Each structure stands twice: as C-alpha cells, then as structure tokens.
Chains A and B, each alone.
Chain A
Amino acid sequence: MPKTLASKLWDSHVVRQAPGEPDLLYIDLHLVHEVTSPQAFEGLRLAGRRVRRPDLTLATMDHNIATSRAEAPDEISQLQMRTLEENCSAAGIRLYGVGSRHQGIVHIIGPELGLTQPGMTIVCGDSHTSTHGALGALAFGIGTSEVEHVLATQTLPQRRPKDLAITVDGDLPLGVVAKDVALGIISKIGVAGGRGHLVEYRGSTIRDLSLEGRLTVCNMTIEGGARAGMVAPDDTTFAYLEGRQFAPRGAAWEQALDHWRALVTDEGAAFDHEVVIDAGGLEPYVSWGTNPGQSVPVTGRVPEPASETDERALRYMALKAGTAIQDISLDRVFIGSCTNARLEDLRLAAAVVEGRHVHPKVRAMVVPGSMSVRAAAEAEGLDRVFLEAGFEWREAGCSMCLGMNPDILQPGERCASTSNRNFEGRQGAGGRTHLVSPPMAAAAAIAGHLVDIREFEGGAG
C-alpha cells in the first residue's frame, strides 16, 4: 500500500504497538536546552532513573543567555544555566554551552552540525523543533514530562496524527522569500489549521527552496497548529549534509543515501487533508495582529476587525483598521531567531543594508543563530556591512524572539522582527511585533517604517 513520507518515518520508529494504546516511538536524537529540562532531570533523580542514551542527546544554551559579552544574564537565568551544566555533566551529555564555538539556537545547530538527518525522529522541549523536518526527519516539540520520558527511555508514547499535504507550486515572485511562504500558508489555514496533523510540504516552490529556506518554512509549522512539518529529502538536502561534522562518510554515506532516497511519499498515497497554494499569488507579508495568522501583504492595510480577537489585537497593537501597512513606523528591528538567523538570512538582509544607514529613530540588531553562523558571516564581511549601517552585531542566542534574556522590547515599542511569534508581550511586556522576512526587516530598519522590499531601491535584487 502506498505510504506518505510521514507514515514511513512513523512506522520505521515504532518500538511497540498495542490495541488502544499510543505507539511507542523510538527517538533518534533528543535536543535539550536550559529552560524546559531542569524539572525533567529532577524527576529522573527523584525516581532513581538514569539517562538511557546520553550519546543520542545534545544540549545547548540559547533561551536566556545574553547576546553581548558585556551583559550578564540575571541570577535566576544563571542558576538555570548552571543547573544544565551540572545535569549534563552528571549524565554524560555533551553540552555546547556559552563559550563553545558550536553554541547556538538548538534548531540552528542540529542541522548545521549534520546531526539532523533524513529518516530520523527528533524531539526537543521546544515547539520549534518542527524546523528539523526540513531535512526529511519526523521532528516535533514536547513538554517537560515528555523530555523526562525520552531521557529515561529514549522513546515516547504517541498517537499517530493525521496527514496534511501543503503543496506550493510555481515560481516565487521577486522579493518573496521562504518566510513569506510560511506567513502566506498560515494566513490561509489559520493558527489552528494544522492541529492534529503532520504536515508534508510539497510542490515545485518547496523543491526550489534552498535547504535553509525549507528550515524557515518547517520552523513556522507550529504557528499553523501542526506539531511537525517535513520536506522529502532530495539532492538539495544531500548536498547540504555532505561533509558536515556528524554526517556519515565513505561507505556509510552511500548506504545512508540509498535509504534516504526512498523517503518520499509514494505515488497514490492518500493524505487526510490537502491545501494547495499558488506561489505566484504570494507577496511579502507583514503581521498586523497578535498571532501569526493575522498577516497581510505589505501592500495591504490593517483589516477591519472580524472578531473580538481581532479587536483586542488592534487595541494591543495600537493600530486603526484601514491604516496602510507601510505607514506603520518602527522603534526597533530584530534580525534573528530559529526562523531566520542562518547564513542565507543574514546574506539577504546584508544585501539590502549595504551602503545604507539605519534610520536615526530605529535601534536595530542582528543576532546570528549560532556561533558558527556568526563566524561564517564574519568571514565574508557581513558583520562590517551591518555595523557600518548602524546595526548591533551580537552573539548567538534566542535573543529578542522571546525576551527571556536582556534583549527585550520596552512597553509600547514597535518592532519589525524576523522571528516567529507576535503574541502579546512575546518580545517584552507591552512590546508590539510585526513579523517579516529578513530583507523586509532590513529595509524597514533603513526606512524607519514598514516598506515594500520590491519598491525599495535595489532591495529585491
């Protein structure tokens, strides 16, 4: 019987199946960070259990670290980070902590180290674990009780979600990038549209995206309500992986390739639901409200509220219906996060910024997703482009995506952000977030207001 990619990934990881019970899935890689793990390790200790497979577990620090060496995290953050160090050391788990050249946002470092590979199951106590599906892995976010379950058993009991195909076909118009594909999908299906499903992204637009672009699209899967999103591995995936630190080599690489090439949805396999999107109709998107589904094309206007949720969002965002998106002026610009802080994102932003200067009213920062991204960007001079334009160039971390660290918006500040969530207070209590792509964020920093990258001189190049 023909199978979907998700079914192949799922079925090949079932350790035990019993009528009426969830499937017991084997987990190939467990990523751990400082915020959602301490209670899990404590639970293990209280129950007298050990970490079953420290060799399939990797820890990093990203959520509450400071992104400037001159700043120190608060004391509670420091305790949380120390706790991670102690837990990893006691369990024999490798930790890429502050000061490591591999440190970075957990969803940036997995792929860049070559740890994220096709055909794997990957979990992490973080909803953006969906990112890793871009390489053809089954990857999803879990809660702390589940973190404890995986630490103890390397497995997780899970009910099989349904299959949702999101097909995007056609060439992307000029100025439209992977982030716009993600926002376009969510504004179509809504923030709950993918609930209860595993998403497979298909179609020529997805095939033509770089691996980094696919990571951006899969990253935002959770914002459409689905726990996991994936793209079937292909030559783009294999070219990205080959030679990376943890990628197989030699004969093992060939063996792996044979296996990976079979990881596609079979002809005739059925999905429970399908959504089709015409890439030609996509535009650069901007979120106007307090969830990612509340997004419109940059050429649009703040819409008339259609619900109490919309009205509340307008009040929180201090926006009036009918305002042209491009008339919205900004205080801050943030280029970073597990959505958009890879080398390609920084290149796209730098190309817009080069030779220009950040608007005097705006404070703008670039936070590379990992220390490796930072080093690679510096090797090609991107740091100088940003610094000369008046951006701050910071160390790797989650930074202002979630404001658990010194990088936060002040109440009332308005920010164009390449991150993934515009929830109330997400970037700092009272802060107002507009989600955009890296080139759109870069152009907004220069203009001092939201602006259409396609009309920004040289911007859509």
Chain B
Amino acid sequence: MTPFVRHSGRVAPLDKADVDTDQIIPKQFLKRIERTGFGEFLFFDWRKDPNFVLNRPEYEGASILVTGPNFGCGSSREHAPWALQDYGFRAVIAPSFSDIFQANCLKIGLLPVQLPEATVRELMGAGDVTVDLDRQVVSADGVDHRFEIDEFSRINIMEGLDEIGLTVRQESAIAAFEEKRPDWMPALG
C-alpha cells in the first residue's frame, strides 16, 4: 500500500451523487491482469466530453477529487481506486462513500475523506487544499475541517502496513478457530 500522511494538492470538483464504479473504470478495462496502468482509462466515457472536469486546464494536475455522496457505488471492482490512484489522485473527499469502495481505498492508501455535504461543497471551489491524516484535518484557505476515520485504518495507512502480514501473526487463533468448525460444513478437498 502507498502510505499517506499529509498531502497538499489541487482539487478537482466532480459535483455528482451516486457515481458508480462502472463510470470510474468501465468494464472493458477490467481484463488486465496487472494492478497498474488503469489511470488513462479513468472516467473513460465521461472524458469524451471536453467540458468534463478532468479535461479542463484549471484542474490539470489535480490530486484530490472532491465529489458527491455515495461515491463508488455498484461493482466491487478495486480497479476503480486503482485507476484513481494511477491517474494521480491521492485522496477523495465526499459526504459519503459506498461500503466496498471505501474498504478498497483503505487497502491501497487512496485516502477516502468523509466530510459534511456543506463542507464538501465549499471545498469544491477551494483550489488548493492540504489533507493531513496525522491531524485528521483538511485545510483550505486557512480553515481546518476535521474528519473522522477509525484509528486502525489511520495508523495502517500512515505507516503503509501490510494488513495480511498483521493477520498472519494471528495464525494460532485462526488454527484454533478451524479446529472448532462443524464437520458438516462443505469443503472441496
């Protein structure tokens, strides 16, 4: 995972609710067997519109996406956060995220920042902002907006920890659990 502690960058406002992962990365690009190279296909169909936010010169080089509620709904494809990260986004700020998308972001260090809708709306026009995971604030125009994130995820992302490695340390607990599993549960052995 890419660690995230603090990042300052330009905001790209995508003022839409319920953006689904089919829009973030359409299905024809899910056939690759690598984790990289999805950035050029980010918002593939929407980018055909010359007025789409990512095509506008004032948002060139933007690294923080600010968007509407329920961002990332639909398909569980992790290719969506991969594409956002590969394109150059380090954080996504929204009033809410879909459950699976948010979990996927946390696994790869693309920081999902949840803030109230009015604050998000304000940030859409903020230009440059700083997202500070250590202090749990988004700073824009000299104002700090505090956001909540669970402490476990916060530390994991700041340190770029290997979550599988953490679980592997629980081997004895996993093995003990397996001993007690009922015999009638199916196995393909």
Contacts and interface: CB of A to CB of B under 8 A. Distances in A.
Interface of A: 15-16, 20-22, 24, 26, 28-29, 35-36, 38-39, 42, 47, 49, 54-58, 63-64, 74, 76-77, 79-80, 83, 94, 114-115, 117, 120, 125-127, 141-146, 148-149, 152-155, 157, 159, 161, 191-192, 195-196, 222-223, 225-227, 246-248, 252-253, 255-256, 259, 291, 307-309, 312, 402-404, 421, 423-426, 429
B39 to A, nearest CB: 15
Nearest to A307: B17
A403 B77 contact: no
A294 B188 CA distance: 41
A177 to B, nearest CB: 24
Nearest to B151: A20
A155 B181 CA distance: 14
B143 interface: no
B168 A404 contact: no
Most chain A CB atoms below 10 A, which of B45, B73, B76, B78: B76
Contacts of B18: 191-192, 291, 309
A148 B107 CA distance: 11
A421 B76 CA distance: 13
Given A26-B174, A26-B177, A39 B184 contact: no
Given A21-B152, A423-B20, A424-B45, A49 B164 contact: yes
11 contacts: A15-B174, A22-B152, A35-B31, A76-B31, A94-B188, A142-B103, A144-B78, A145-B108, A155-B170, A192-B69, A312-B16
A222 B77 CA distance: 13
Nearest to B104: A143
A354 B118 CA distance: 56
A15 B70 contact: no
Interface string B101-124: 001100110000000000000000
B27 interface: yes
B171 to A, nearest CB: 8
A152 B70 CA distance: 30
Contacts of A21: 152
A39 B167 contact: no
Contacts of B187: 55-56
B139 interface: no
Contacts, number: 198
Given A39-B34, A152-B168, A153-B168, A426 B184 contact: no
B182 A259 contact: yes
A130 to B, nearest CB: 10
B33 A79 contact: yes
Given A24-B167, A114-B186, A404 B70 contact: no
Nearest to A154: B174
Interface stretch (B3-11, B58-66, B92-100, B127-135): B92-100
B62 to A, nearest CB: 21
B183 interface: yes
A426 B35 CA distance: 22
Interface string B149-177: 01110000000001110111010011001
A86 B40 CA distance: 29
Contacts of A426: 22, 27
Given A155-B167, A159-B150, A191 B173 contact: no
Given A154-B174, A252-B184, A36 B76 contact: yes
A223 B78 CA distance: 17
Nearest to A193: B70
A142 B74 CA distance: 12
Given A117-B185, A143-B76, 19 more contacts: A15-B170, A24-B167, A39-B34, A77-B31, A115-B188, A143-B78, A143-B104, A144-B104, A145-B104, A153-B168, A159-B150, A192-B69, A195-B96, A247-B186, A248-B184, A309-B17, A309-B18, A404-B31, A423-B23
B167 A125 contact: no
A120 B98 CA distance: 24
B82 to A, nearest CB: 8
Contacts of B151: 20
Nearest to B70: A192
A227 B33 contact: no
Contacts of B174: 15, 24, 26, 153-155
B70 A191 contact: yes
A105 B177 CA distance: 31
B99 A195 contact: yes
A402 B96 contact: no
B22 A36 contact: no
Contact of B103 (A56, A114, A143, A308): A143
B57 interface: no
A195 B101 CA distance: 11
B30 A404 contact: yes
Contact of B186 (A20, A26, A115): A115
A366 B79 CA distance: 29
Given A79-B33, A145-B107, A227 B99 contact: yes
Nearest to B15: A308
A64 B28 CA distance: 10
B55 interface: no
Contacts of B16: 308-309, 312
A22 to B, nearest CB: 6
Given A35-B31, A83-B33, A425-B22, A196 B167 contact: no
B7 to A, nearest CB: 21
A148 B173 CA distance: 19
Contacts of B186: 29, 114-115, 117, 246-248
Contacts of B108: 145
Nearest to A151: B164
A246 B17 CA distance: 43
Nearest to B107: A145
B185 A120 contact: yes
A153 B75 contact: no
Contacts of B78: 36, 39, 125, 143-145
